[in-house]
């Protein structure tokens, strides 16, 4: 049988019919990218100027991936997930890539500036992932919401680590937990993403969506949450409360856009999902504190 492949490949770059060979997969490539694997066909490493220009063009420019991704994420709840699941993906950052970028920015800022990381509701109450500062006063020494896991452990567990922690002053306890939690809070927040996806799958099992689809939605929502927590950390109480309620509204709107259904159905499922999700966070937080005190 006669082969249809050419006996040679013209590699003279000055020729208009120049065909490069992809160094990654060996396929003929006539353009700047291999049609088989997508790798660039340029053989020489980029100069710094070319690399920087390409980075700006791809991610930061008005039509770049970063701009389009963040505009969809911030201003159109759920739209980024809809685009991804519909197969329109090349123009946006991938879900985990976006989450990783947000995680690095947020947790670096939290550590560098000593910010509190939490969703505040009704003043200082809410869901707290990390506290780098605290209010000074009698209320701060009470069994408030943020100290409840610690008090539960002190009341019901008797291990060497718990006894050492119980012997500390209140200030030393806070310093100890802050330092230990700072090491694991990024993993803790990442752990919540598959938990959220499982919760979504439970309440939307009649939609017959794959777990990976719920995971994409969870990554996008968690990314928005991280950026919101970073902004909220520097807001006064009233604005922080407003932003926290917007986060909840954002999640509900995103549910409606991605999963469909009527508004009453979405509101009911959204409330149930968030209630279960926050309950799981509370239990996970208790286990985390217990591990920090005993390991």
pLDDT by 10s per residue, the chain, length 295: 444 444 444 444 444 455 678 878 888 877 777 888 877 777 666 676 666 566 565 555 555 788 899 999 999 999 999 999 999 998 899 999 999 999 999 999 988 888 888 776 655 566 667 766 554 333 444 333 345 678 888 888 888 888 888 898 888 888 888 888 888 888 999 999 999 999 999 999 988 899 999 999 999 999 999 999 999 888 888 888 899 899 999 999 999 999 999 999 999 999 999 999 988 988 888 888 888 887 7
DSSP state of 293: H
How far apart are the C-alpha atoms of 177 and 180, rounded to whole Å? 5
Q: Specify the pLDDT at position 144.
A: 38
DSSP 8-state symbol, 138: G
Contacts made by residues 251-257, CB under 8 angstroms, sequence distance 24+:
251/77, 251/221, 253/77, 253/78, 254/77, 254/78, 254/81, 254/217, 254/220, 254/221, 255/78, 256/78, 257/76, 257/77, 257/78, 257/79, 257/81, 257/82
Query: Using CA atoms, how far apart are residues 34 and 30, in angstroms rounded to an integer?
Result: 8
pTM (2 d.p.): 0.78
What is the per-residue pLDDT for 57?
59
Domain ranges of the chain: 76-294
| Distance in angstroms (rounded) separating the CA atoms of residues 162 and 168 | 10
Pairing of strands 117-120, 28-29: unpaired
pLDDT digits (tens, 9 = 90+) for 106-125: 999 988 888 888 776 655 56
Q: Which residues contact 204 (CB under 8 A, 6 or more apart)?
A: 214, 259, 269
């Amino acid at each position: 049988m006669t082969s249809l492949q050419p006996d040679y490949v013209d590699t003279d770059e000055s020729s208009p019919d120049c065909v490069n060979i992809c160094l990654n997969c060996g396929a003929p490539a006539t353009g700047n990218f291999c049609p088989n694997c997508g790798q660039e066909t340029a053989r020489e490493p980029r100069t710094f100027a070319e690399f920087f220009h390409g980075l700006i063009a791809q991610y930061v420019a008005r039509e770049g991936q970063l701009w389009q991704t963040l505009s969809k994420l911030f201003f159109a709840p759920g739209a980024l997930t809809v685009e991804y699941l519909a197969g329109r993906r090349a123009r946006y950052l991938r879900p985990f890539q976006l989450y990783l970028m947000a995680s690095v920015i947020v947790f670096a800022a939290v550590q560098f500036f000593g910010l509190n990381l939490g969703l505040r509701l009704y003043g200082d109450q809410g869901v707290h992932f990390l506290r780098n500062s605290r209010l000074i006063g009698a209320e701060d020494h009470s069994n408030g919401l943020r100290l409840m896991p610690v008090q539960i452990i002190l009341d019901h567990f008797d291990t060497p680590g718990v006894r050492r922690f119980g012997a500390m002053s209140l200030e030393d306890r806070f310093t100890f937990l802050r330092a230990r939690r700072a090491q694991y809070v990024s993993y803790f927040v990442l752990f919540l993403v598959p938990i959220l996806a499982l919760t979504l799958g439970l309440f939307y099992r009649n939609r017959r969506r794959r777990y990976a689809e719920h995971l994409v939605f969870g990554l996008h929502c968690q990314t928005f949450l991280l950026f919101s927590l970073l902004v909220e950390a520097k807001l006064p109480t009233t604005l922080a409360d407003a932003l926290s309620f917007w986060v909840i509204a954002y999640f509900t709107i995103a549910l409606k856009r991605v999963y469909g259904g009527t508004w009453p159905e979405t509101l009911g499922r959204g409330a149930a999902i968030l209630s279960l999700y926050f309950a799981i966070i509370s239990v996970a937080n208790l286990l985390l504190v217990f591990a920090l005190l005993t390991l």
